[in-house]
Amino acid sequence: MFTRNSLLKSLPRSSPLSTSFRRNASTKSLKETLEEVIPHKQQHLKRLKAEHSDTVIGDVKVANVIGGMRGLRAMLWDSSVLDPDEGIRFHGHSIPDCQRLLPPAPGGKEVIAESMLWLLLTGQVPTAEQTRQLSRELAEKAELPEFVEKLVDSFPTTLHPMTQLGMGVAALNHGSAFQAAYEKGMKKTEYWQHTFDDCINLVARLPALAARIFRNVYNPGAPLPAIDKDLDLVGNYTKLLGYGDNHDLTEYLRLYIAIHGDHEGGNASAHTAHLVGSTLSDPYLAYSAALFALAGPLHGLANQEVLRWQLAMQKEVGDNVDHETIREYLWRTLKSGQVVPGYGHGVLRKPDPRFMALQEFCDSRPELGNSPIIQLVKKTYEVAPDVLKEHGKTKNPYPNVDAASGCVLYHYGLTQFKYYTVIFGVSRALGCVTQLVWARALGLPIERPKSYSLDAIEQLAKSGST
């Protein structure tokens, strides 16, 4: 029987399909590159079915069934793997690998969404020229249909931004290429191509949709600038939000959106996209469902909860705080029956590599080094793991990405808490749409697990039957 770690270690890291990081001088488009990669991956899947269909890679315990299926190895999600000790890897490569290898925006240093999207879809590192071409393609497709603009503008400003985003994305399915082709009749081998077209259009339009929601809720009546065809996806997003002159915020959002783009398939938003997509719903409907999963307090709302907690601490203890004062505040939080937000993770048992990447970003910028809220995040990280270990009720006493992400946004002036998850939603699309394309390319079936009643589980447990 394979264990999780032995299975992960057996995955090749030098495959020409999934982990090739040789820079190819080709100027082929993303879709043309996929057309070359897909047949090889289809053969790989066919070989796995033929040779290993009966191989056991895990077992199911009662705790898995009644505990939200946590820990079950039951999904195919090819773009990223989350290891408890190593953290996230995208086609076999870590976040530092991606920061070193993936092309940034012109004049920037951080990973950009286009580079990450290319990697997630193809397993290959694009050239700088290919990322520029993809940026231009996305910018050319970024305008919202007029009826979607009117729909979003009609929403009451009190409607949560995530609700608005989900409704806006769902409405975009009016122009779904997949839905139109399916209604006319098409071969299954063509499913992925129309899914790809929808996914690219969705990613392209998310910044305009998300920025329009921001304007309507927080700056009603303010003009929205035009899309700049020479900017990358996040460069345009920051400009549309009204922060186009803030280069540091733009660079932060580039990093944030790239490293949040995919986090294996078992998290609630990714799994929802996969589940709904498996019914052959088009990508707009599948991703709108994912967004509503992301909107939950146990998922995408976490970073705003961390920020609220950090600001409450700052208000109580002040700016010039020492480790002992933070330790006392942490213990008061725990003894009151609350959790320390931003610490712990469902899979990871080490500090989240995404948190570490954001910490390195902060350490590289003097203005963040002098920020009281950023310094409080850093000092909390220096104290909290030992307190949580002593407390003894946390499996992972280390910080996850939410421990830092919202606090940096706050420092740069993006202080609207309720909007933070919308930015997460723009990011998470990268991984979800990637796997919607591959699910159609590989012909994956509708997801349909078996369920049991409490009595049936008890009978199975007592009899030892499987």
Q: Which residues are catalytic?
A: 299, 345, 402
What does the block give as tokens for 353?
A: 């590599």
Q: Tell me the C-alpha distance between 68 and 347, whole Å.
A: 13
